[in-house]
Amino acid sequence: MLQLTDLQFSSHAQVFVAATCLGVTALIYRAYLASTESNLSCPPSPLTWRLRGHLIPPRNGFMTVESWIEEYGPLITLREGIEKHVVIGRYKAAVEIMEKHGASLVDRPRFIAAGELLCGGMLIPFIRAGERAIHTHLQPKVAEAYQPLQISYAKNTVISILNDPHNFQDHARTYAAATSMKVAYGKTTPTSATDPEVKRVAKFADKFRTVLHPGAYLVDSIPWLKYLPWYARDLRDGCRDSQELFIELFDRLKQEIGGDEAGPSLGRYLWEKRSSNEMPELEMACLAGTVFAAGYDTTTLAICTILMAAACFPEEQRKVHEELDAVIGINRVPAFTDKKSLPRLRAFVSEALRWRPLIPMGLPHRTTQVVAFENYRIPAGTTVSGNHWAISRDPDVFPDPNAFKPDRWLDAEGRMRDDLKFFGFGFGRRVCPGQHLGVHKRGSRPLGLPAHVENRTKPLDDMAFMHGNFANEQPCTIDFQTRIPEAELRRMMERDVEDI
């Protein structure tokens, strides 16, 4: 029999359902009104009826975006819940908007999932003093101080590849971990990819990549979700684990500074400037930790991608070897000072990172004022990102874009072209602060590797490194062949840095 309480419940339920329906209708109305308005002024928007906005698949989603760019033009507006996100997919638009209007795009969006839940509000762009410190500390002159260690780490990598060629991904991780540890904490004792702290930072970096994917977490469209204590437990746990790690590493650094054992590093710089930059200790620890994570993740992927490209395109690899043989011969490894004399090696690297960009969707910026481009207008407060995959497939700038052609980076005299911008490090005033340490700008390190080692085996999946998270994958086994007798190569790699 129907009870009074059932009736009361049912009327509450009805009110709840009605309120929910009204809320949803209002949301849809606002979202679609916004998208209709956006058609008047904002770049065009591919049609979607999804309440959550455009669906970008987690795997190869950058290709979906590229197909929209091909259909709708150089700029498109995507919807994430009720937020607009303008995506730039062509080179000229990237130069005009991200570079020339760089000052209007220096901000980052709020990043609720990545910045607030996973990083506990300690993401670099939101720590202004820290951001300045990073850019100062990693500028080209300071980056030079890390060169000798980069050389010795690169030589160790060659020896590791000789000892155990099938695990080259682990050796790339070890190189990346050692250099990032040095930059963030000045660590000089040996570092390995299998160290517990490196594994923990790799876990954090993997999570960070996943969270940044548009639409990965509903909270970026519905901010109040973050107040539900049971929502996104994985992000809160990740935040706790990473902060614990970053504090441990920073405490160790402080002890080393106290004992006068610490080399120069970003962490040390932050600690020594603590009275002038007025940063709380947790912020300093998180900044150093985030730089460690960012450098580790990208450097690993860059090395793996370049070695894979060498294995995939033996003819282009051969041309690099010819240049290396002509410029440095076979009795020494390339030095940083050789960079200018090795344009073909640099072109190869630029092409590898264009062919398989490490951050294919780019990192979002946010407009602080209206930005105009051709017939389009991007309102202030809009999230804007340059889609590296689509930009590097712009057929007007990179004809036959899917082909691997290092020559496109060279002029008629065989020098690196200065009229073609490499966008792999991002854009404008938010460009990667680690670029002067990275394998691209540094040119020859650790790419001295191909000087004496040849990669022969084609990978099973040449898109595998695009997904960043390859902890358990072996997408690529490369058959490394030495180009000089192995004993001689080992001797050369074991020689002291000063001998080079």
Binding-site residues for heme: 432
Shortest Cβ 359–ligand HEM spacing (Å) = 4
Preceding peptide of 314 cis, ω within 30°: no
CA-based nearest residue to 446, from 144, 141, 149, 137: 149
Complex with ligand HEM: residue 156 or 383, whichever CB lies closer: 383
131 binds ligand HEM (CB under 6 A): yes
Closest CA to 289 of 374, 208, 373: 208
Give the number of residues in contact with ligand HEM, rule: CB under 6 A: 29
Instruction: Closer to ligand HEM by CB, 52 or 99: give it.
Output: 99
- For the residues of 4-18, what is the DSSP string, one character each? HHHHHHHHHHHHHHH
Nearest distance from C-beta of residue 109 to ligand HEM, angstroms: 11
Looking at 1-9, 278-286, 418-426, 453-461, which segment touches ligand HEM (CB under 6 A)? Answer: 418-426
Query: Is position 298 an interface residue for ligand HEM (rule: CB under 6 A)?
Result: yes
**Residue 113 or 363 having the CB closest to ligand HEM:** 363
- For residue 294, what are its two tokens? 């960012």
Q: Which is nearer to ligand HEM, 409 or 489 (CB)?
A: 409
| Positions at the binding site | 432
CB nearer to ligand HEM: give 82 or 114. Answer: 114
Q: Which stretch binds ligand HEM (CB under 6 A): 45-53, 256-264, 426-434, 442-450?
A: 426-434
**300 belongs to the binding site for ligand HEM (CB under 6 A):** no
Q: Which is nearer to ligand HEM, 156 or 350 (CB)?
A: 350
Decide: is 125 part of the binding site for ligand HEM (CB under 6 A): yes
Which residue shows structure tokens 């990598």? 157
CB of 277 to ligand HEM, least distance (A): 16
Shortest approach of ligand HEM to residue 223 CB, angstroms?
A: 21
Pairing of strands 83-88, 383-386: parallel
CA distance 156 to 453: 14
Pairing of strands 83-88, 376-378: unpaired
Do residues 408 and 398 lie in contact, with contact meaning Cβ atoms separated by under 8 Å?
yes
The answer to whether 105 and 98 have CB atoms below 8 angstroms apart is yes
Q: Mask: binding to ligand HEM, 432-471, rule CB under 6 A, as x and -? A: xxx--xxxx-------------------------------
Rounded to the nearest whole angstrom, what is the least distance from the CB of residue 263 to ligand HEM in the complex?
15
Q: Closest approach of Cβ 98 to ligand HEM, in Å? A: 7
Residue 398 identity: F
Residues ≥6 apart with Cβ < 8 Å to 12? none
Vertex 467 angle, CA 200 and 317, to 5°: 110
Among 317, 308, 428, CA closest to 358: 308
Residue 124 binds to ligand HEM (criterion: CB under 6 A) = yes
User: Is 431 an interacting residue with respect to ligand HEM (CB under 6 A)?
Assistant: yes
Structure-block tokens of residue 226 = 């973050």
User: What radius of gyration do the chain's Cα atoms show?
Assistant: 25
Nearest to 371 by CA among 380, 359, 358: 380
Distance of closest approach, residue 247 Cβ to ligand HEM, in angstroms: 19
- The distance between the two most distant Cα atoms of the chain, rounded to a whole number of Å, is 95
Residue 324 interacting with ligand HEM (CB under 6 A) = no
Which positions touch ligand HEM (CB under 6 A)? Answer: 124-125, 131, 134, 180, 183, 291, 294-295, 298-299, 302, 358-359, 363, 365, 424-427, 430-434, 437-440
